[in-house]
Amino acid sequence: MELLDLLTSHVRIDAVRAKALKKLGIVTVRDLLYHFPASYEAAGSIHALASVKEGEDVIVYGRLTGLAARKAWTTKKTIAEGWIEDGTARIKIMWFNQPYLAKMLRDGMVVKLVGKVAGKGDKIYIANPEVQETNAVKEGGDSLFQERAQDETIYPIYPESKGVTSKWIFHILKKWFDAGLLNDINDPIPEDIRKKYSLPHLAQALRDIHQPTQEKRYQVAQKRFAFEEVFAIQTRHAQERAAISAADCYQFATDAEHIKKFVDRFPFPLTGAQTRALESIFGDFNGMSAMSRLLEGDVGSGKTAVAATTAYAVCTSRPDATKDWGNLQVAYMAPTEILAKQHFESFIEYFKHLPIQIGLITGSGCQKFPSKVDPTKPTSISKAQLLKWVENGEIPILIGTHALVYKKVQFKHLGQVIIDEQHRFGVKQRKALTQKGAPMPHLLSMTATPIPRTLSLTMYGDLDLTLLDEMPPGRKPTITKYIGKDDEEKMYEHVCSELKTGRQAYVICPRIDEPDPEKETAVEMKSVIAEAERLRTGPLREWRIGIMHGKMTPAEKDEVMADFNAHRLDVLVATSVVEVGVNVPNATNIIIEGAERFGLSQLHQLRGRVIRGTHQPYCFVSTTSKAANTAIRLKAFVATNDGFALAEHDLEFRGAGELYGRNQSGLSDLGMTALKNLKLVEAARTEAKNLVAKDPELKKYPTLAERLTHLGELHME
């Protein structure tokens, strides 16, 4: 049996199941083997109904009967009730206040219940259990409980899916394992590395993760597969790194005096961190291979000024003075139109005294600075015209959204690519942009999202890291307050007093978790509009209130942003999607409604909106949630202004999956849990680097090379 064999060549699969398997992405033997259990159940925790006792936490399997809903005559609350029977006994089930449950469940349905036994003596019942329909019993007709109870092993529970049950997978794999079909399988992790870290061989690990005989066994296997994934990712990073090192690049020295002239025009001196970042970057420009650097700095740490200075260095450099081919160009990509526009405006300020033209390209149009008519202003131009000037090199700096990636955008000598809020883009977009230049352009990625070290090593293992760990002077640390229902009045009083002294405020409305993205924006829009209305007629009635949400056109958003920027609006009510990186220094108050819905890192991003100026900033996290962990998380948020600490806290309490998008990240669930283990990630990285240094093309490691083809695209959002 080979990993890449089609499943159908080893198992008979009917049409219904084939469809279900396809939905799960399971086509080959390998796909099934790497479809790991989501959890395990020890046979001991499964109870026959006859043995269920009061006060116990139980898992029971059985058939539902006698379902009905009624209203309690004392409290008028709905009670849904029924019975579950499994051939050994039957027992009552009750759900309080969940009328919809009665509608979802049907008599005769076979389910798994997880809950606590309440009541006394022969009047025991299971209250508010979790219910899951299981197909397993229906198929075989036999009682799942009986089969499981006889078995001493630990039961794997696979991610739920209709048509592909845990039981089905269990039996197929059992056959394969028992027949020894997988004994000779090749392991992508080289033997010496496996030995060094005491990791089991792939064949053993597969057996232990799918059909463990002890808890310890699947834990070891899980660790091994987590290592395997991170190791494969790191190997890919190391290879990418090697490719960058091998590629031709523009190499040039940067003159300190020349740079000083540019920087001296800034209305502020650079911070030490900004200066150090520039030194590293200039060092890269003068290095033998193209730069590949991530600049990570908290919101407001001044990344744009760094970006502008590097852009200046690039487009005033001539790597090869013997040829008269004009100047190098810079492409600067931002995740949203608002941000791209804002950078365009900042760059105009930084470059207006120089004969360096700047272009802007977004989905809704193109601009160029300076205008021929009025050289102090930008002007709108056609896309065709802009692209022509970029292609012939006349426009050295082009700023834009992902519109920059389009095939038609061609540069003459692309020397540097700058990507703002780089975690919002995939590796593919990053590559598409850097591939517009040959030799390879220098890459400066920037992010304001402080991420735990394990995650940055995993996601950005191929980038060098520079931290902008110093705020411009005069910034006051934000005062953050936890606002419960009773504190609202005081909060609005405070915000009004701030508005009176001439400051501005944001009010952020929560994202509503709706599976349908279309619907989601609709709901968000509603919450923004409703909240703005409430504030207009209520606590903030004396102030000019604007709104911004995802359903507005870019032009509408621009207008609102311009109004808020120019202080024609006092308050901006917006969703959280609007906007990372928006810069209005006079806005020093932010109210975050439904704060429990946000991750700590996200809250921190939002709080970053108000630390742009020198006035005292305030952040109010408002919640009506009474959940205990909400309080713990929000207290952590109130207690610190350290974004990295919050990111680590988030990783600890919410898990990487929830934080960075389980599906989009390209990491498996096991890979995600590995992110909690710095030692594992560092070990995998070291080994991968060493291995690639010895054998960049993995000629001696074909199984590992093959393993790399199964990695997803890493992406954060």
Q: What is the binding site for Mg ion (CB under 5 A)? A: 303, 581
Q: 304 or 401: whose CB is closer to ligand ADP?
A: 304
Residue 341 CA to residue 565 CA, distance in Å, equals: 13
Question: Should residue 304 be labelled a site residue for ligand ADP when binding is judged by CB under 6 A?
Answer: yes
Nearer to Mg ion, 11 or 467 (CB): 467
Over the Cα atoms of the chain, what is R_g?
A: 30
Task: Give residue 126's region: left, alpha or beta (phi > 0; psi -120 to 50).
Answer: beta
Q: Are 610 and 478 in contact (CB under 8 A)?
A: yes
Q: How far apart are CA 153 and CA 213, in angstroms?
A: 5
Q: Are 510 and 523 in contact (CB under 8 A)?
A: no
Angstrom distance (rounded) from CA 527 to CA 529: 6
The minimum distance between CB 297 and Mg ion, in angstroms, equals: 9
d(CA 453, CA 440): 28
Residue among 519, 504, 665, 530 at smallest CA distance from 584:
504
Kindly indicate which of the ranges 295-303, 506-514, 532-540, 623-631 contains the residues binding ligand ADP, using the contact rule CB under 6 A. Answer: 295-303
| Cα distance between residue 563 and residue 628, in whole Å | 40
Residue nearest to ligand ADP (CB): 302
Is residue 422 a contact residue for ligand ADP (CB under 6 A)? no
**Which does residue 466 touch among ligand ADP, Mg ion, none (CB within 5 to 8 A, set by kind)?**
none
Binding at 621: pick from Mg ion, ligand ADP, none (beta carbon under 5-8 Å per type): none
Written as six digits, the tokens of 430 are 């990053």
- Pick the binder of ligand ADP from 82, 300, 335, 643 (CB under 6 A): 300
Q: Which stretch binds ligand ADP (CB under 6 A): 200-208, 302-310, 522-530, 623-631?
A: 302-310
> Given the rule CB under 6 A, which of 194-202, 294-302, 386-394, 457-465 is the region that contacts ligand ADP?
294-302
Q: How far is the CB of 554 from Mg ion (least distance, A)?
A: 19
Residue 655, binding choice from ligand ADP, Mg ion, none, Cβ under 5 to 8 Å by partner class: none
Q: Would strands 57-71 and 46-47 be described as parallel, antiparallel, or unpaired?
A: parallel
Cβ distance to ligand ADP smaller for residue 449 or 458:
449
Tokens coding 93: 């089930």
Q: Which of 657, 651, 527 is nearest to 592 (CA)?
A: 527
In the region spanning residues 441 to 470, those forming contacts with ligand ADP, defined by CB under 6 A, are: 448
Show Cβ contacts of residue 56 under 8 Å, excluding neighbours closer than 6 positions.
47, 116, 117
Does position 641 interact with ligand ADP (CB under 6 A)? The reply is: no
Q: What number of chain residues touch ligand ADP (CB under 6 A)?
A: 18
Q: Cα separations (Å) of 428 from 131, 406, 588, 715?
A: 41, 13, 37, 9
Q: Is 508 in the site for ligand ADP (CB under 6 A)?
A: no
Partner whose footprint covers residue 503, from ligand ADP, Mg ion, none (CB < 5 to 8 Å by kind): none
Indicate whether 82 belongs to the interface with ligand ADP (CB under 6 A): no
Q: Does 1 bind ligand ADP (CB under 6 A)?
A: no
Q: Which stretch binds ligand ADP (CB under 6 A): 66-74, 292-300, 316-324, 367-375?
A: 292-300
**Binder of ligand ADP out of 137, 305, 334, 338 (CB under 6 A):** 305
The DSSP element (H or E) to which 40 belongs, if any, is: strand 39-42
Question: Under rule CB under 6 A, which residues in 242-271 are in contact with ligand ADP?
Answer: 268, 270-271
Residues that bind ligand ADP (CB under 6 A): 268, 270-271, 274, 297, 299-305, 448, 472, 581, 583, 585, 612
